[in-house]
Amino acid sequence: MVWFVMVVHGMTRPAYRLAKGVEQEMSNHEQHEQSHSSVKRKTMSRRQFLSYTLGGAGAFMAGGVVLPMIRFAVDPILQKKTGGTFVKVAEESAITSEPKEFKYQIHQVDGWYESDPVRTAWIARDQNGVIFALSPICKHLGCTVNWNSQNDNQYFCPCHEAKYSIDGKNLKVAPAPLDEYEVEVRDGWVYLGPVKANTRV
Amino acid sequence: MFKAIYNWIDERLDITPMWRDVADHEVPEHVNPAHHFSAFVYCFGGLTFFITVIQILSGMFLTMYYVPDIINAYASVDYLQHKVAFGAIVRGMHHWGASLVIVMMFLHTLRVFFTGAYKAPREMNWVVGMLIFFVMLGLGFTGYLLPWDNKAYFATMVGIRIAESVPYVGPYIAELLKGGDIVGAQTLTRFFAIHVFFLPGALLTLLAVHFIMIRRQGISGPL
C-alpha cells in the first residue's frame, strides 16, 4: 500500500503545479490578486485530489474483489428457469369423477445432483368431463392430504385436520386452496406438468 | 523457564501492556457474586461467551468428519457420532451448547433489561447485542439443516417458508437461501458455508464491538 501511495503521489505532482491550492495562493499574494484578478478558476487542493484518487482506486479494487463473489452467490435467482416438462402419468380412461391417487417419477436436476423423485397427484374429472389434478401438499404446513379418509368426500390432512373440497377449496384450517398440476391429455394419456396455483376455486 | 521466555519476548515486543489492558480492570462490587450472591445474574454474558467459545471449538473439530453433501452428510454425522471415539461427546457439546447459548443469551438480555443497563450511554451496545442475537438465531437455523435427516429437512422447509412470506422480497430470499427451486444439494452447501464461515465471521466482529464498548463505557451502576 505504501508503494501504491508513493506512485500516486509522484504521478500527481505536475497536476498539482497547474492547479495550486487556493488557500496558499490567496495567503501569499492576497493583495496582488484582488487588484486585477476577476477570473475564478476551480481548483482542487493536492490533498483532496489525492483522497479522490486513492478513494477511487480503492473502491475500484474493492469492487473488483467483491463483485465477482456477490454475483457468484446470487447466481441461483438469476439462472434461467427451465420450463417444466410434462410426464406421462395415467390412462385417460382410468380417470373418474372420484379423485384417485397417482404416483409418477419426475426427473429433477439439483445443481450437480440429478434424481428421479416420486410425485403424487390426485386426478379426477369434473362435471364437464375436464380432467384436473391436485397436489396433495397441504397449504397449511406442508403435510400430505388424502381423499375421503374421513368418509366425507373431502381432502383431509391428518396433521392439523385441514379440509379441502373436491376442487381443492380450503374449507378448514388451511389458508389457501390446494395447488393444481398443469394437465395435458394426448393420445389417451394424461400428462402432468409443473405445479400452479389453483384455478378451480 | 517460562518466565525467561516471557521476559525475552517482553523485552523485545513489550507485550505486558497488551494483556494487562485486557485482563486488568476493576470489577465493581455490585457485580461481584463474592460480595452479593445475587450478582450472579451478571455472569450470564460471560457464560454466553464461554459457551460460544465451546461452540466454535467443537464445531471446528466436527468439520474434520462432516461433509456437506446430500448423499454423505447423514452418513458422516452418523459415523462421527457412533464410530469416532468421543464423537457423541464432541457432537453433544455442539448440539446441547447450541441450545444453551440461546438460553444464556436470553438470561443475559433479561438481566440487561431489568437492570436498565441498556439506557444512555449504552444504547448502541444494546443494538449490537440484538444483532448478535439474530446472528445466533441464524447459526441455529443453518446448523439445524446440516445433519440432513428428516427433522433437519422439514424444519428448514418451514423456516424457508416463513422467510418466503415476507412481502415482495420473500420469494427472492427463499430462493437465495435454497440456492435453487428446492431444498436440496445446493441448500446444504449454502447453509454449511453460512454456518461455518459467514455467520461466525459476523459473530466474532460483533462480539469484539460488544466487548470494546463495554470496556470503554464500563459496567452500569447498581440498581
What integer best gives the mean pLDDT of chain A? 84
In tens, the pLDDT along A13-70 reads: 444 444 444 444 444 554 554 555 567 778 899 999 999 999 999 999 999 999 999 9
B157 is written with which cell numbers? 422447509
What integer best gives the mean pLDDT of chain B? 95
A7 is written with which cell numbers? 506512485
Torsions phi, psi for A176 (to 5 deg): -150, 160
| Contact status of A74 with chain B (Cβ, < 8 Å) | yes
A161 Cβ contact list (under 8 Å, min separation 6):
A172, A173
In tens, the pLDDT along A123-161 reads: 999 999 999 999 999 998 888 999 999 889 999 999 999
Reference A120, options A199, A39, A33, A181; nearest CA is: A181
| Contact status of B169 with chain A (Cβ, < 8 Å) | no
Of B70, B157, B180, the CB nearest to A76: B180
Of B70, B154, B186, the CB nearest to A76: B186
Distance CA B23, CA B89 (A): 31
Reported ipTM? 0.81
CA dihedral (A99, A157, A162, A177) positive or negative: negative
Q: Which residue has the higher pLDDT, A28 or B80?
A: B80
Instruction: Work out the average pLDDT over B141-150.
Output: 97
Distance CA A24, CA A26 (A): 5
Q: Which residue has the higher pLDDT, A7 or A74?
A: A74
| Contact status of A110 with chain B (Cβ, < 8 Å) | yes
Residue of A nearest to B182 (CA): A110
pLDDT band at A196 (very low <50, low <70, confident <90, very high): very high
> Could you write out the DSSP letters of every residue in B72-103?
THHHHHHHHHHTSTTHHHHHHHHHHHHHHHHH
Interface contacts A/B by beta carbons within 8 Å: 33
B137 Cβ contact list (under 8 Å, min separation 6):
B102
CB contact under 8 A, A111 and B161: no
Q: Is A37 exposed, middle or buried (0-12, 13-18, 19+ CB in 10 A)?
A: exposed
Which site among B153, B158, B169, B186 would you substitute to test the A interface, given the most A Cβ atoms closer than 10 Å to its Cβ?
B186
Please, which residues 176-205 of chain B have a Cβ atom closer than 8 Å to chain A? 176, 178-182, 184-186
- Containing A120, the helix (H) or strand (E) segment is strand A118-125
Which site among A66, A75, A77, A143 would you substitute to test the B interface, given the most B Cβ atoms closer than 10 Å to its Cβ?
A77
Contacts of B180 in chain A (CB under 8 A): 76, 110-111
Distance CA B181, CA A18 (A): 59
